[in-house]
Structure 1
């Protein structure tokens, strides 16, 4: 132990000295650079960013301290500092001499204190086990059942079946979910705690013992060295049977003194120095010996597992069938691969499972991500081409007379913004054509998408057709219906609401009016896609918050007409990457202006300890005649989550804190008639404070509501918080939103600060996308996102753009993929698998 302690002390001392030398050399380089710049500028005492040259030199010399500097050097530096204080008033020859002397002294210091270059580590000779490759390819095919692979029995086949892996091809397309990189080969001195790496070193000694604190734990320690330093390795054995002295002695004998070993693992660091705990170890006959291990010194794949399937065993099986990847046909021709700098498909599969190095892994990922995006874009663009061949109703607009749309726009108490007018013009141009429009309108909360949708619906009506307006919730459908009822009766255009709670008698009347054409516009929820709903002449379908509907639901409504035009809308702004992925078959428009008079909502972040201040702020708003929301993530108390619930907070506010005010409760478990009643009371100011869950996220429009408190804001995504915040500030009064952060972490605080500093929905959505991923941003299983194996919509934007360009090029020359038969087969297979997993918008 004494010798071990001395070794560690010596190692720590050497490392400390090297740190001091590094600091000294960095300081010398900084001063030398300043002296050079001053000399090049004619000794004019140039002014830097914050101070003059002489002030900078004098301060740096006075402040720098190093135990490496002798008393004599210290005295010289002190004299230089004083000389530089007098530098501005000195003559030119004195300035020149001073700079030359200073540079000479610094040069001597840099030469005296240098870290010796660390010799590069020896190379590892890897075994690729190619001898069995030909044998495997003779006996197995890419579509052979996994049960035919050597070492795979019935039980393992059941494990593979649990992962939907049945044939060898399935296994090859079961990509690693992560990697451990042992490919970085280093000398002991260069090891950095927290990194995974590999070293080749010599054993100085070994010893073993059973832990005095835990008789079930035995430890083998190996002390290694190379020409740059020393390090300790610990191997752990858990179990009483391993505590026998005979076992431990046998372990020691496996690693005799002077043996060369290759070691891969995670470098640990503590007060005693650096070490490896339970690394991978292989004894080498000599430094140039062939390495037998298939893991040491390599990039190790980490796979998704299931019960009964161990990581090492799965790696062995995948490794054994990798040669069959070369039998995979490549759907892309050689010239395409070369122009896009893509690996061959088989080589990419091989490198994704067994990468030669990080560069090859990067190339393999790029090729396979490209394929995923290519199949997605081909499918979306083909759908778009097929839709373009269909004949749609041409909603002709007679510009010579004032139609419903012009009358509606005149009724509005405001003019359309330039952005609204531009999008409406795009829509009118689309619906005048005889091919179906498919357009997505994106816009921030409160930008006026609904007004544009109403104008488009009125164009359909004045052309002699009917319109349907579908929303995902009854609350939102009710809100759209009330908005339409404000204007359409004045134009003598009929409008009705159809939801799951519509009475049977009403439904019967609505169905009859729709089918005979008397009803021009219908607003509703999923009830619109019921079989009993029949239109006489459906010309335009508007779908709000469209990402909440699956493609089948959307198509069921479209199929009630003869290829009607489709206008979809979302208030969750989607970055271009995401829009291309899930809306690649749609034209995308953006309303990027807010109507005049809308003031930005002041947003404030509070810790949970200051919750009472938020309630005081609510009281201030209520006392001047405004209304407020209090939003919570849960309806009721949860045993698993320590969160305040809407019901608990409602009782607390109504009976104690805000007992003198009218407080209401709204949540998703309520019957639709109850929800409707509560919202109406809030609209009519019979309720002053509405305690709610995210039911109010969309569709509730109360201009007098100027205050919102979102409790447990850390439990919501940024895009969702932005949506919620948009429920206030809908009038002309100043509005405020308070976010209560209960997470008590810096990461949570920094995330929520994004909302405090930004009101740009696209910026917020982009940040949210990077933090949480697209599935959570869209917040629904029916978001339309495919289940990518490797592709990442955040990081792979350039590959997506490239794949879309290639898809357009392919379909332009071969729209039915007749000349690309293999690509067509793989595309059909991709979309068949996709449809079974998700509903793609």
Structure 2
């Protein structure tokens, strides 16, 4: 197959992230790229069971602009499922070896329910999810004494519970409020969490929370420091009970750099974070297409490490290294694609032209000025290109008023 599977999946993932807006790429719009890629795939190379679906999907992208946002979303989701089905049939992963083509619902710890939610985002395989990069990260890794908190920071605090109360709001019977006074040697802070729904208003659930956060319990809390009329607090704090002071915080959000993913209705941040955490071991040791010499020359970390740390980096330095590697890959493969297209174009036959004629001379005579040295040089390069037996592919670039228009008229 000549299809670039990762590039197709990335295009579909970015279109999903941008809200199905038919994103404009460097050369094509999203629907033009999908239509051309699917249309130019020889049907004889596809399994018989999917050839009709493949043709229908390719044709649908020709009318992508006419579809509503919900229809576009449905088409993108169907396309990702189609690519997954085809790729699964055309590839045979090594026995007993984890594969990025593995269906998410078969990964230990994810299961059918979470996989069904992830499908709403067009995520079907391990590769789909591992390349579903966070749109940003929140740094909760910095642990700060309560007495040194500053509004606007994202931090983690650890202290003992001084008092805990869990009750139904007097103004809203379906709103439950959990209030905790957390104290360390430098001061104390009031934390509040809000739970909407009838199940949280039940007395049994509220009493359970009081037992969980009983006085003297050691708790880690992460969030954005906010100034209220009651003093400093953490906005929507993430809470975890620790066994003892100094114990390791075992959480996907508390005390670490937290990934923030593009979401859709019915898919919570925790669903994606837990699923990503389940597939990270499958990425370890995954083959790197870039040779070690190239990675060393450009100071790039291995691909498996970059894919793991773009989701859950241990610190800001590793996050920066992961971003740098993945950004390098994007530009590197883009450049390879452009070079391949240039080579294909150079192999095409063109019609050589002889641009030396009366019209150009007459035009020069009518101009009320003489061309600058740079303009003459660019004109000469263009005329030389026109005389070659291959199609010309040239971009004229310059500041406002530099003479691009007169050069273009001569050409």
TM-score (norm 2): 0.69
2:384 counterpart of 1:429: yes
2:397 counterpart of 1:442: yes
**Contact 1:195 1:267 (C-alpha < 8 Å) held by counterparts:** yes
**Contact 2:218 2:243 (C-alpha < 8 Å) held by counterparts:** yes
Structure 1 residues 435 and 144: CA distance shift in structure 2, 3 A? same
Structure 1 residues 246 and 309: CA distance shift in structure 2, 3 A? closer
Structure 1 residues 448 and 278: CA distance shift in structure 2, 3 A? closer
State the secondary structure of the residue aligned to 1:378. Answer: helix
- What are the superposed Cα offsets for residues 710-741 of structure 1, whole Å, 9 maximum, x if unpaired? xxxxxxxxxxxxxxxxxxxxxxxxxxxxxxxx
2:220 counterpart of 1:220: no
The answer for unaligned runs of 5 or more in structure 2 is 1-94
> 2:153 maps to which residue?
195
- Distance in 2 (CA, whole Å) between partners of 1:162 and 1:368 is 25
Shift of 1:275: 0.8
> 2:189 maps to which residue?
231
- Distance in 1 (CA, whole Å) between partners of 2:214 and 2:111 is 39
State the secondary structure of the residue aligned to 1:320. Answer: helix
State the secondary structure of the residue aligned to 2:171. Answer: coil
- Distance in 1 (CA, whole Å) between partners of 2:129 and 2:342 is 33
Shift of 1:246: 5.3
State the secondary structure of the residue aligned to 2:251. Answer: coil
Q: Aligned match of 2:163 in 205, 208, 218?
A: 205
State the secondary structure of the residue aligned to 1:404. Answer: helix
Q: Aligned match of 1:406 in 343, 351, 361?
A: 361
Shift of 1:352: 1.0
Shift of 1:222: 1.3
Shift of 1:342: 0.5
- Distance in 2 (CA, whole Å) between partners of 1:286 and 1:155 is 34
> 1:378 maps to which residue?
336
**Contact 1:325 1:346 (C-alpha < 8 Å) held by counterparts:** yes
- Distance in 2 (CA, whole Å) between partners of 1:447 and 1:273 is 60
> 1:284 maps to which residue?
242
- What are the superposed Cα offsets for residues 255-289 of structure 1, whole Å, 9 maximum, x if unpaired? 22222111111211124321124311112121132
2:273 counterpart of 1:315: yes
Shift of 1:338: 1.4
> 1:454 maps to which residue?
409
Q: Aligned match of 2:299 in 330, 341, 362?
A: 341
Structure 1 residues 306 and 153: CA distance shift in structure 2, 3 A? farther
- Distance in 2 (CA, whole Å) between partners of 1:406 and 1:198 is 75
Q: Aligned match of 1:361 in 319, 324, 342?
A: 319
**Contact 1:142 1:327 (C-alpha < 8 Å) held by counterparts:** no
**Contact 1:348 1:363 (C-alpha < 8 Å) held by counterparts:** yes
Q: Aligned match of 2:284 in 323, 326, 342?
A: 326
Q: Aligned match of 2:375 in 414, 420, 429?
A: 420
- Distance in 1 (CA, whole Å) between partners of 2:297 and 2:186 is 46
- What are the superposed Cα offsets for residues 129-174 of structure 1, whole Å, 9 maximum, x if unpaired? xxxxxxxx95743222223123555565454444333321222112
- Distance in 2 (CA, whole Å) between partners of 1:288 and 1:162 is 40
Structure 1 residues 143 and 243: CA distance shift in structure 2, 3 A? closer
- Distance in 2 (CA, whole Å) between partners of 1:272 and 1:397 is 80
- What are the superposed Cα offsets for residues 585-624 of structure 1, whole Å, 9 maximum, x if unpaired? xxxxxxxxxxxxxxxxxxxxxxxxxxxxxxxxxxxxxxxx
Structure 1 residues 138 and 223: CA distance shift in structure 2, 3 A? farther
- What are the superposed Cα offsets for residues 681-715 of structure 1, whole Å, 9 maximum, x if unpaired? xxxxxxxxxxxxxxxxxxxxxxxxxxxxxxxxxxx
2:309 counterpart of 1:351: yes
**Contact 1:159 1:307 (C-alpha < 8 Å) held by counterparts:** no
Shift of 1:445: 6.0
> 2:107 maps to which residue?
149
Structure 1 residues 227 and 397: CA distance shift in structure 2, 3 A? same
- Distance in 1 (CA, whole Å) between partners of 2:175 and 2:296 is 56
- Distance in 1 (CA, whole Å) between partners of 2:264 and 2:285 is 28
**Contact 1:159 1:306 (C-alpha < 8 Å) held by counterparts:** no
**Contact 2:100 2:283 (C-alpha < 8 Å) held by counterparts:** yes
Shift of 1:215: 3.3
State the secondary structure of the residue aligned to 1:215. Answer: coil
- Distance in 2 (CA, whole Å) between partners of 1:199 and 1:341 is 35
1:510-525 alignment to 2 at 5 Å?
Answer: none
Shift of 1:239: 3.7
Structure 1 residues 241 and 179: CA distance shift in structure 2, 3 A? same
State the secondary structure of the residue aligned to 1:291. Answer: coil
Structure 1 residues 272 and 152: CA distance shift in structure 2, 3 A? closer
**Contact 2:176 2:196 (C-alpha < 8 Å) held by counterparts:** yes
- Distance in 2 (CA, whole Å) between partners of 1:158 and 1:257 is 40
**Contact 2:152 2:226 (C-alpha < 8 Å) held by counterparts:** yes
Q: Aligned match of 2:127 in 158, 161, 169?
A: 169
- Distance in 1 (CA, whole Å) between partners of 2:292 and 2:224 is 41
1:763-774 alignment to 2 at 5 Å?
Answer: none
Shift of 1:214: 2.9
**Contact 1:183 1:299 (C-alpha < 8 Å) held by counterparts:** yes
Shift of 1:425: 2.4
- Distance in 2 (CA, whole Å) between partners of 1:288 and 1:245 is 33
Structure 1 residues 249 and 156: CA distance shift in structure 2, 3 A? closer
The answer for unaligned runs of 5 or more in structure 1 is 1-136, 457-841
- For these two proteins, the number of residue pairs brought into alignment is 317
Tell which structure's C-alpha radius of gyration is larger: 1
